[in-house]
Amino acid sequence: MFSLNGKTIVVIGAGSGIGEAIAIGAADQGASYVACLDVNETGAGATAARIDPTGVTAGALTIDIADAEGTRDCLEQLAAAHGSLDGLVCTPSINVRKPILAYTGDEFDRVVRLNLRGNFNVLQAAGRIMTQQKRGSIVLYSSIRSIVTEPGQSVYSMTKAGILQLAKTAATEWATLGVRVNAVGPGVVETPLTAPIKDNREWYDAYARKSPMQRWAQPGEMVGPTLFLLSDAASYVTGTIIYADGGWLAADGRFTPPGM
């Protein structure tokens, strides 16, 4: 029931990090076609090339999810070429870490344009296709920051909470049309987005200590939760989020008493 056999899967953000791992994972689970989409055409192509030798057909396309018309055209072309759009994952986001009083309007607009408007564009375009074909699964990428935050994360956290609410609303609107919409909420994952933190050892170690698992996640550890939501194993799962956070949200970070 976890198989993706016969399914056309689109992964946006497949050029690196979590999206790259998911695209390869979808191929491993037997997807008939994996579309690797990214604003970075070279990265998307490299991921597709890694998939091709497995015997699964893959292709790469450039996409800018902040461009509503371009996003719609891209997904419609893929659905027409392959007969359906069975599953879609959208991972891209950006962050500008700054105190609220230091944030500029341009920085606010840049983060919101990609994280919120971009995800809305993808959701709307994929939703039009899937509601017409009466089946499909969409997985958006939220974060632990949809629930908890820290100084400097105001706009990023706002967008991640918004992505979760987008997923929930779409799930309620499309549930009777055979379309499921869910989210994944990673904790701290070693990706290009978090590379600046890894370069700061004190910061990196502090995040590792916050997790009950005492470590960061690797991109491949997001594959299982995502592919579960794409698969028929999650046929009654919609409008929710899976937090893959190593227990981050379960712990309040307080002192551990002696002997525990």
Selected catalytic residue, list 33, 141, 156, 243: 156
Nearest CA to 94 among 119, 75, 77, 70?
A: 119
Token pair of 207 as six digits: 């995040």
Q: How far apart are CA 201 and CA 203, in angstroms?
A: 5
Write the DSSP assignment of 78-123 as a string of letters: HHHHHS---EEEE---------GGG--HHHHHHHHIIIIIIHHHHH
Question: Which residues fall within 8 angstroms of residue 251, CB to CB, at 6 or more apart?
Answer: 210, 211, 212
Residue with the two structure tokens 């919101």: 112
Dmax (CA) of the chain: 62
Using the 8-state DSSP alphabet, how is residue 231 labeled? S
Q: Collect contacts of 253-259 with beta carbons under 8 A, ≥24 apart.
A: 253/210
170: enclosing H helix or E strand: helix 154-174
Q: How far apart are CA 158 and CA 206, in angstroms?
A: 23
Token pair of 5 as six digits: 């056999």
**Known active-site residue 156:** yes
Q: Show which residues are catalytic.
A: 156
